[in-house]
Amino acid sequence: MTFAGIADRQAIENEMPWEERDVAKTLWSLLSNTAQKFPTHDAISYQLFSGVKDHAETLNWTQLRGQVGRAANLFRSLGVGPTDVVAYVLPNCNETVITLLGGAVAGIANPINPLLEAEQIAAILRETNAKVVVTLRPFPKTDVAEKTAEAVKLAPNVKHVLEVDLCRYLTAPKSWIVPLIRPKLSVQNQATYANFNTAIAKQPTELSFEDPQEDRVAFYFHTGGTTGMPKVAQHKYSGMVYNGWIGHTLLYTEDDNIMCPLPLFHVFACHVILMAAVTSGAHVVFPTPQGYRGEGVFDNFWKLVERWKITFIITVPTAISAKMQRKIDADISTVKTAFSGSAPLPVELFNRFEKATGITLVEGYGLTEATCLVSCNPVDGEKKIGSIGITFPYTDVKIIKGTDNGPVEAEVDEIGEICISNPGIYAGNTYTEEAKNKDLYYFDKYLRTGDLGRVDADEYLWITGRAKDLIIRGGHNIDPAEIEEALLGHEAVAFAGAIGQPDAHAGEVPCAFVELVGGASVTEEELLNFCKEKVQERAAQPKHMTIMDELPKTAVGKIFKPDLRKMAITRIFNETLEAADKRARVTSVIDDKKRGLVAKVTMNGDTEAEIGKHLDVFTFGWEAA
């Protein structure tokens, strides 16, 4: 089917209701259908290193189905039923795919970001009540095994840990050396440990248990979020099938090769890419454990595209910027489309990419709470640069404003909160914590995304900011996007993040953080003056500018604003204490579940009463460290 505009979307919806479409009911039946259609087609490929000639392992659809069956049987043998949780703390590798799919067939799969700290991993394990954890065996240059062991110690429900040994991807002489220098795991916890691959090899490839053809929760994904501690979203088979159906119907077929250097703990890689491949029979390539963060991935990117005859690139704005700083030194003529998500794409970067590569770039939008996909610019139709396109079939978006008289739907081009209803949303039960679902829906149906946006006269959706990112200066609302867009217009600025810094009089005032284009040079004072010219609203002009080597970002390239807020709170509080000739200093800022961001102050001999006189004037809390 084509997806060139609103008419195509309506034609698909008019063909039949979503509920009447002949789609798989479970993940195992979906995977089995694809393996039956394309038994010898490549399914997934993985290379530990980024070199164009480095060793890679490929599984075809028959092999992948067999490994998933074995993993599901293993998990069942360890006591995992349909409502039990298999968590994994893994970088990208073929075992990560097998664990995700096998965990969701046997019970509920719970991917966890391996870059999180042990305490955060433990909090997620406790929240999901995970019984089994799959993670790395100790391996050089990574502390994933050690962090996971610490986390399991803090999560008493975990009974089994299965270890993936990346050594098997190595070739000689590295494969001989690693066992000799492998770090020892010193942390003791209550779980029994076993080798993942050894354990699944003992299981049959066909399921040893029934796969009831009914919908259920099969995934727990923690939010990557830009607003603090992760929440855990629940995804059902039906939401996963819907996302896979969109990918197959509108984006790829069994003849596509998809480059996916995004992490397999995030919905973009797991649902938009992998599940669409499981539905269509497409081939997905995962380069290095860290994906885009992996050593040499950007330097070798275009050659890897040539090696795998890639037709479809999955990317994010930060990765596009990095690619544009590398020479295109390979034959990339096989690439038809690049799909960019996670954050708005600057117009200049969009134009530079298409001009340099000749590749059609499509911007899209999704979120963890909706399983993922919501909208994209039509692959075959008009693309409005900077917009997130038109909604996918069976997705209904409303722009809603909160008023004194209750929620009201916005007019065309009027800004409000983006609210969504589609088959990927588990209405009323989005998060595992019941309290987090309170006030999350309008009209019991439309998920409140927290994103501010508008719909234009052509029904294209535009994101204008985050509701929680609004800078409230003395009761005056300032959209940080206005500041960020102005800064991105400066030739030296690659990325910008604007937030509110504490202010004793106005509550907060705008400040900005920027990351420069490679090789560029500009001062913070020059950027502040640039903002005075380009930011029309005087109240929105930033009062402070910080140039950083690299802005903190989430795994999919969103600027992580909680870290910026922590930096701003630390700076303002310490400047205030220094000006008052006090020795006390902020040594950290924590994210308290009830109070929000709280500064931890090391007193250095000062009393709390003395410090309170100076810090209590701010709206952000503090406490003695």
pTM: 0.81
- Name the domain boundary from 428, 453, 478: 453
Over 80: is that where the pLDDT of 474 sits? no
Domain count, the chain: 3
Does residue 276 lie in a domain region? yes
Top-ranked range on mean pLDDT: pick from 188-197, 224-233, 345-354, 531-540: 188-197
Q: How far apart are CA 323 and CA 335, in angstroms?
A: 15
Q: Per the domain annotation, does 146 fall within a domain?
A: yes
Higher pLDDT, 402 or 430: 430
**Residue 343's pLDDT band (boundaries 50, 70, 90)?**
low
What local confidence, expressed as pLDDT, does residue 372 receive?
Answer: 93
**pLDDT value at residue 227:** 40
Q: What is the pLDDT of the chain when averaged over all its residues?
A: 92
CA dist list (Å): 306 to 87, 286, 317, 337: 35, 14, 22, 14
- Distance from C-alpha of 242 to C-alpha of 378, rounded to nearest angstrom: 18
The three-class DSSP label of residue 502 is strand
pLDDT (average), residues 331-339:
96
pLDDT in tens, 265-294: 999 999 999 999 999 999 999 999 999 889
Instruction: Quote the domain boundaries for residue 521.
Output: 470-558
Per the DSSP assignment, residues forming a β-bridge with 365 are 375
- Single out the residue of 539, 540, 538, 543 nearest to residue 527, CA to CA: 543
The one-letter amino acid code at 509 reads: V
Q: Which residues pair with 465 in a beta bridge?
A: 452
Of 126-135, 274-283, 349-358, 606-615, minimum mean pLDDT range: 349-358
Lowest-pLDDT choice from 21-35, 99-113, 211-225: 211-225
CATH number at residue 195: 3.40.50.12780
* Residue 458 within a domain: no
Question: Do 347 and 271 share a domain, yes or no?
Answer: yes
Give pLDDT, residue 78: 98
Residue 615 pLDDT level (bands cut at 50, 70, 90): very high
User: Does the pLDDT of residue 222 top 50, yes or no?
Assistant: yes
With 90 as the cut, is the pLDDT of residue 62 above it?
yes
**Residue 475: pLDDT above 90?**
no
Q: Calculate helix-pair angle for 237-246, 27-37, nearest 10 degrees.
A: 30
Percent of the chain with pLDDT over 90: 77
CA-CA distance, 51 to 288, in Å (whole number)? 10
Find the mean pLDDT for residues 170-175: 91
What integer pLDDT is reported at residue 229 of this predicted model? 58
Residues 205 and 157 in one domain: yes
Residue 621 has pLDDT above 90, yes or no: no
Q: Do 583 and 503 fall into the same domain?
A: no
Q: Of the spans 461-470, 475-484, 495-504, 521-530, which averages the highest pLDDT?
A: 521-530
pLDDT at 593: 62
Residue 352 has a pLDDT of: 87
Q: Are residues 173 and 152 in the same domain?
A: yes
* 162 shares its domain with 126: yes
Last residue of a domain, one of 521, 541, 558: 558
Q: Which residue has the higher pLDDT, 315 or 162?
A: 162
> Residue 452: enclosing H or E segment and its boundaries?
strand 446-455
Last residue of a domain, one of 408, 427, 453: 453
Instruction: Answer yes or no: is pLDDT of 226 > 50.
Output: no
Backbone angles phi, psi at 110, to 5 degrees: -130, 90
Q: For position 596, what pLDDT does the model report? A: 72
Task: Indicate if 115 and 233 belong to the same structural domain.
Answer: yes
Mean pLDDT confidence for 218-231: 72
Cβ contact 408:401 at 8 Å: yes
Supply the pLDDT for residue 117: 85
The answer to whether 289 and 49 are in contact (CB under 8 A) is no
Please check whether residue 386 lies inside any domain of the structure: yes
Q: What is the pLDDT of residues 93-116, one digit of tens each?
A: 999 999 999 999 999 999 999 988
In a domain, 360, yes or no: yes
Q: Is the pLDDT of residue 347 over 80?
A: no
Cβ-based neighbours of 366, under 8 Å, separated by 6 or more = 267, 268, 272, 341, 372, 373, 374
pLDDT band at 476 (very low <50, low <70, confident <90, very high): low
Q: Which residue has the higher pLDDT, 511 or 117?
A: 511
